[in-house]
Amino acid sequence: MENSEQLIVCGGCNAKIGPGDLGDLLADLPKVTSDKLLVGFENTDDAAVIKISDDQVLIQTLDFFPTMVTDPYLFGKIAAANALSDIYAMGGTVLSALNIVAFPEEKDFHILKEILRGGAEKVQEAGGILAGGHSIHDHSVKYGLSVTGTARPEEVLMNNAGQIGDHLILTKPLGVGVITTGYSVGEISQEAFEEATGYMQTLNKYAMDIAKKYPVNSCTDVTGFGLLGHLHEMLHGEFSAVIESNNLPYFKEAYTGAKEFILTAGGQRNRNYLADFVSFEIDDFGIEELLFDPQTSGGLLISIAEDEAENLVKELIEAGIPAKDFGQIIEKTTNEMIVK
C-alpha cells in the first residue's frame, strides 16, 4: 500500500504554543521544591533532570505533535527523532521511550502501524527500549514519545549556561517549517523536501557524541520557537549575542520561499514575541523568516569557548554534520540579539 497522501499536513513543531503564551501559562503553576529535582519546568530547559544517586540523574521529556508530512512512516521517524532530541540536547543517553498516540477511529489502522514502525526504528537506533505507550481516538493524527535518559550529573548540559565570548554553533540547516509548508502547497521542490526531511529524521545523537569530547558550556535543540527563540532562552536576560547572517546554515529553497512569503503561523508567533529582543542590521526578509521559522527536529545549538569552536565545527563537518559557527555571546547591550 502506498504511504503518500495518507496524512493531512497540519503541524509538526509549527503547532507548538508560542513562547510568550507558554510562559504566561506556566508562571502561576505551583513550584515543586525537592533536592532531587535539578531542572524543572521553571527553567525553560529541554527536559526535567532528577537526581537518583550521587553519580546518576534521570532526564525526562515528552514531545508529540500533528503531522507535517503525508507519509506516515516518515512522520513516525521525524516525530520520534524530535522527541529523542531533548535527551541529547542535555548531554544524556536514551534509556527508554513510551509511545503517545492520537488517531481517528475511522482511519485505516495500517497508517498507524506505519507511524509506530517509524518511531520504533528511531528508538532502536538511539539504543533505547520502547516499553509501551498510550493511545486515544481523536479527530486528527498526533504522535510522539515520552523519553527517559540517563547521565552523570557533571554531563548534564543546561540551555542557559553560556559564557561571554562563547561561539554559537548550529548543527542542522534552518528552514524546515518553510520547506514543509511550501511543499504541501506545491511551491517547494521534491528535492528540497527530501533534503529537509532527511535532516529531520536524523538523530542529534551523532552531533552530541562529538560535542561531548569538548568542554561545551551550554546546549539546546532548535525546535518550535525557532533559532532566535531558543537563543533568547540561552541568553536568559544576562547576555547579548551577535549573529553573522552570512554564516547561518539554511536550505536554499527555504530562503527563496521565505522571500516569496511562504510563511508559517508558528514563525509569525515567534516574530511577534521576539520583536523587542532582536535588532536586524540587514535588510533581508528571507533571513529574518528563517531565524523565526519553527524547526521540527532541528539541530543542536551549542555554546562553546572561542578556542574550542573551530575544532568542534571541523570534527562535526568531517562526520557529515553541516555545522556552522554563526555567532558569539557578548556582554549585555540594549539589543539582546543583533543580526549582522
Cβ atoms 84, 128 nearer than 8 A: yes
43 known ligand binder: yes
Instruction: State yes or no: is 219 an active-site residue.
Output: no
Query: Which among 3, 7, 11, 13 is annotated as catalytic?
Result: 13
Amino acid residing at 113: K
Report the Cα–Cα distance between both ends of the chain, in Å, rounded.
49
Q: Which helix (H) or strand (E) holds 313?
A: helix 306-318
Question: What's the rounded Cα separation, in Å, for the pair 86 and 92?
Answer: 9
Angle at 303 between CA 299 and CA 308, to 5 degrees: 110
279 known ligand binder: no
96 known ligand binder: no
Cβ atoms 325, 169 nearer than 8 A: yes
Place of cell 512512516: 73
Question: What's the rounded Cα separation, in Å, for the pair 301 and 218?
Answer: 8
135 known ligand binder: yes
3-state SS string over 172-194? CCECHHHHHHHHHCCCCCHHHHH
Cβ atoms 62, 83 nearer than 8 A: yes
221 known ligand binder: yes
Q: Which of 190, 171, 178, 137 is closest to 260 using CA atoms?
A: 178
Cβ atoms 14, 182 nearer than 8 A: no
16 known ligand binder: yes
* SS3 assignment, position 289: helix
283 known ligand binder: no
Q: Which helix (H) or strand (E) holds 125?
A: helix 109-125
Question: What's the rounded Cα separation, in Å, for the pair 124 and 64?
Answer: 18
Cα Rg of the chain, angstroms: 19
List residues forming the annotated binding site.
Answer: 16, 43-46, 63, 86, 133-135, 221
Q: Which residues does the annotation place in the binding site for ATP?
A: 16, 43-45, 63, 86, 133-135
- Which parts are annotated binding residues for Mg(2+)? 46, 86, 221
- Residues serving a catalytic function are 13
